[in-house]
C-alpha cells in the first residue's frame, strides 16, 4: 500500500492536540503512537539542530527519524530562554496532552512546572517519561533505555550463561516506557471525560521493563529461584528452541502436550510422546537438553522451507528467522499490510511498519512523513494557533528564539 498526499483516515484520536517536547526515542515514540491514531502532534525542537534522532541510523541514512517523526508537525523554540518558554506555554495552553522526557526538574527549571501549566489549562494531561520516575532517591539521575533494562531485570537474563549480559538489538527499554506512557495518556484521557480534569502520567524506564518481567520477582521471593541467562531457551519450557537446518535455523515451539504429540508424529517418533522423560511439561523441562538434541538431529535433514511446510500442515507453532528482505516478500506481511510504502520527498518509495494495532472501525494511518527540517511548520502553527504575524516570526527567528 502506498500513501500519497496523506491518508484520509482521521483515526480515533482526531481532534486531540499533543505537544511533544524532548528527544531521542522514549518521548517521541509515545508521540508517534498517539499521532498514528489521529492526534495532531506538534513537536517542539531546538532551533539549531532539532532532535538528535534526526542523525540516527546508517551513515547518510537517518531512518530512525522517518519512523519516530511520522504524523507530526515540527516547530522550533529555544526552551532555555524566556521567549521560547513563553511560546511553548502558549502552545501547551491550547493542547490536550504534553509529552516530555527530560530529566526530572527540567520543566520546572524552565518555568513550566505541571502546577503552573495545569493552572493555565486544567484539562491538560502531562506525560512525563524518565529513567527512574519523578520521585524517589534516583529520580534526578540521568537514565537511558539500557539503564532501565538493567535495573528492571531484563539485561541480567538475556544472553548466553557463560558470557556477560547481552542486549536486544533495539531500544526496548525506551519503547516499553513510551508504550506505557501512551497507555497512561489514554487512561487519563478517559478519566478526563468523567472529571474534566487532567493529570500527570509518570512513566519510568525501569518500571516499564519491570512490568514485562513476568514472575521474575515472586520466583525469587517465594520459590527462592533466580532466573539467569539461558541463551535461546526458556528453562523448563521444552521443546521451544531454534534448531539447525540444511540452510539456516528454524524455531519450533511445541511445548504444550498436544502439540508435542503432533511433533513426535511428524518426526516419526510417536513413542517420545508417551516416554516418561517427555510425556509431561515438567518432565520435558527436566530433560530439555537431550530432547533438543533429538529434535536437532532430525531437523538437520531438512531445508527451512520444507520444515516450515511440515510444521504448518501439522499445526505446530514454528517459523523461520525473518530479516527485512523476508518481510518485504512475505505473503502474510502483504495480506495484512504490516509494512506500508510511503511516497517520500527524499527517499522515494520508503517502506516502514504500519500502524498497530488494527482497529476495525476507526483505524489509525500514516498521514504525513516526518518533518524534513526543524521548524518546517513554524508559520502554519504559530500564525494559525497563536495568531502571530509574519513580522513576529521574523523577529523571533532573528533573535534565535525559533
For 210-250, write each residue's pLDDT tens digit.
Answer: 999 999 999 999 999 999 999 999 999 999 999 999 999 99
Instruction: Give the residue with greater pLDDT, 218 vs 7.
Output: 218
* 6 — pLDDT class (breaks 50, 70, 90): low
Give the pLDDT confidence score for residue 142 in this predicted structure. 87
pLDDT surpasses 60 at 370: yes
* Predicted pLDDT at 82: 95
pLDDT at 94 over 70: yes
What gap in Å lies between CA 402 and CA 397, rounded to an integer? 5
Rounded to an integer, what distance in angstroms lies between the CA atom of residue 344 and that of residue 293?
Answer: 49
What is the pLDDT at residue 7? Answer: 63
Report d(CA 400, CA 354) in Å as an integer. 37
The three-class DSSP label of residue 278 is coil
pLDDT at 144: 86
| Rounded CA separation 130/206 (Å) | 9
Structural domains in the chain plus CATH codes: 2-212+357-398 (3.40.50.10540), 240-326 (3.30.1540.10)
Q: Give the model's confidence band at 5: pLDDT under 50 very low, under 70 low, under 90 confident, else very high.
A: very low
How far apart are alpha carbons 267 and 299 in whole angstroms?
9
Percent of the chain exceeding pLDDT 90 equals 94
How does DSSP classify residue 61? B
Strand pairing category for 240-245 and 248-253: antiparallel
Neighbouring residues of 169: CB distance < 8 A, sequence distance ≥ 6: none
Q: Can you give the pLDDT at residue 330?
A: 95
Give the confidence band of 184 by pLDDT, cuts at 50, 70, 90.
very high
Phi/psi for 364 (5° steps) reads -80, 180
Q: How crowded is residue 259: how many other Cβ atoms within 10 Å of its Cβ?
A: 18
The dihedrals phi and psi of 358, each to the nearest 5 degrees, come to -90, 130
User: Taking 80 as the threshold, does the pLDDT of residue 275 lie above it?
Assistant: yes
pLDDT score at 207: 97
Q: What is the pLDDT of residue 196?
A: 97
Q: Which residue has the higher pLDDT, 402 or 8?
A: 402
pLDDT band (50, 70, 90) for residue 22:
confident
The CA dihedral of 175, 178, 180, 185, to the nearest 10 degrees, is: -160
Distance CA 366, CA 153 (A): 34
Catalytic residue numbers read 174
Using 50, 70 and 90 to split pLDDT, how confident is the model at 9? confident
Give every CB contact of residue 140 below 8 A, 6+ residues apart in sequence.
103, 104, 105
- Can you read off the three cell numbers belonging to residue 82? 524566556
Q: Taking the model in full, what pTM does it have?
A: 0.93
| Residue given cell 526543524 in the structure block | 374
User: Which of 46, 35, 61, 9 has the alpha carbon at shortest distance from 344?
Assistant: 61
Residues 158-163, mean pLDDT to the nearest whole number: 93
Evaluated on CA atoms 309, 310, 316, 317, the torsion sign reads negative
Structure confidence by residue, pLDDT tens digits, 97-148: 999 999 999 999 999 999 999 999 999 999 999 999 999 999 999 888 899 9
DSSP letters of 155-181? GGGSS-TTS-----SS-HHHHHHHHHH
Q: Give residue 6's region: left, alpha or beta (phi > 0; psi -120 to 50).
A: left
Contact criterion met (CB below 8 Å) for 315 and 262:
yes
Looking at residue 16, the DSSP 8-state letter turns out to be -
What's the helix, strand, coil split of the chain in %, to 5? 40, 15, 45
> Which cell is 268 given?
516419526
pLDDT above 70: percentage of residues in the chain: 98
Q: Report pLDDT for 4.
A: 42
Phi, psi for 154 (deg, rounded to 5): -65, -55
How far apart are the C-alpha atoms of 131 and 146, rounded to whole Å?
Answer: 10
What is the number of other CB atoms lying within 10 angstroms of the CB of residue 333? 16
Q: Quick one: cell of 33?
A: 503512537
Residue 196 DSSP code: S
- Asked whether the predicted pLDDT for residue 355 surpasses 50, the reply is yes
pLDDT, mean of residues 10-16: 95
Amino acid at each position: 500500500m502506498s500513501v500519497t498526499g496523506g491518508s484520509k483516515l482521521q483515526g480515533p484520536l482526531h481532534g486531540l492536540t499533543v505537544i511533544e517536547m524532548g528527544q531521542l526515542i522514549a518521548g517521541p515514540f509515545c508521540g508517534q503512537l498517539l499521532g498514528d491514531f489521529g492526534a495532531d502532534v506538534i513537536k517542539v525542537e531546538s532551533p539549531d539542530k532539532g532532535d538528535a534522532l534526526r542523525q540516527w541510523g546508517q551513515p547518510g541514512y537517518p531512518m530512525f527519524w522517518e519512523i519516530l517523526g511520522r504524523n507530526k508537525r515540527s516547530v522550533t523554540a529555544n526552551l532555555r530562554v524566556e521567549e521560547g518558554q513563553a511560546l511553548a506555554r502558549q502552545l501547551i495552553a491550547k493542547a490536550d496532552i504534553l509529552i516530555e522526557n527530560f530529566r526530572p526538574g527540567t520543566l520546572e527549571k524552565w518555568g513550566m512546572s505541571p502546577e503552573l501549566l495545569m493552572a493555565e489549562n486544567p484539562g491538560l494531561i502531562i506525560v512525563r517519561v524518565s529513567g527512574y520516575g519523578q520521585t524517589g532517591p534516583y529520580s534526578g539521575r540521568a537514565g537511558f533505555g539500557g539503564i532501565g533494562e538493567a535495573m528492571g531485570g531484563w539485561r541480567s537474563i538475556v544472553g548466553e550463561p557463560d558470557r556477560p549480559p547481552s542486549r536486544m538489538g533495539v531500544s526496548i527499554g525506551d519503547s516499553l516506557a513510551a508504550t506505557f506512557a501512551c497507555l497512561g495518556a489514554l487512561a487519563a484521557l478517559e478519566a478526563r471525560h468523567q472529571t474534566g480534569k487532567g493529570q500527570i502520567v509518570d512513566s519510568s524506564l525501569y518500571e516499564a521493563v519491570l512490568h514485562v518481567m513476568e514472575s521474575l520477582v515472586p520466583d525469587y521471593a517465594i520459590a527462592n529461584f533466580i532466573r539467569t541467562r539461558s541463551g535461546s531457551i526458556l528453562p523448563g519450557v521444552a521443546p521451544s528452541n531454534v534448531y539447525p537446518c540444511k540452510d539456516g535455523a528454524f524455531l519450533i515451539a511445541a511445548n504444550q502436550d498436544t502439540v508435542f504429540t503432533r511433533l513426535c508424529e511428524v518426526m516419526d517418533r510417536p513413542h517420545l510422546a508417551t516416554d516418561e522423560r517427555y510425556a509431561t511439561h515438567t518432565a520435558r523441562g527436566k530433560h530439555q537438553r537431550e530432547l533438543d538434541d533429538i529434535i536437532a538431529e532430525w531437523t538437520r535433514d531438512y531445508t527451512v522451507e520444507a520444515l516450515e511446510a511440515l510444521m504448518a500442515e501439522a499445526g505446530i507453532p514454528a517459523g523461520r528467522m525473518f530479516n527485512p528482505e523476508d518481510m518485504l516478500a512475505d505473503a502474510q506481511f502483504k495480506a495484512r499490510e504490516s509494512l506500508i510504502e510511503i511516497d517520500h520527498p527524499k527517499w522515494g518509495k520508503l517502506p516502514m511498519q504500519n500502524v498497530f494495532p488494527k482497529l476495525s472501525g476507526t483505524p489509525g494511518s500514516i498521514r504525513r512523513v516526518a518533518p524534513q527540517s526543524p521548524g518546517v511548520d513554524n508559520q502554519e502553527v504559530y500564525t494559525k494557533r497563536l495568531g502571530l504575524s509574519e513580522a513576529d516570526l521574523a523577529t523571533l527567528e532573528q533573535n534565535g528564539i525559533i
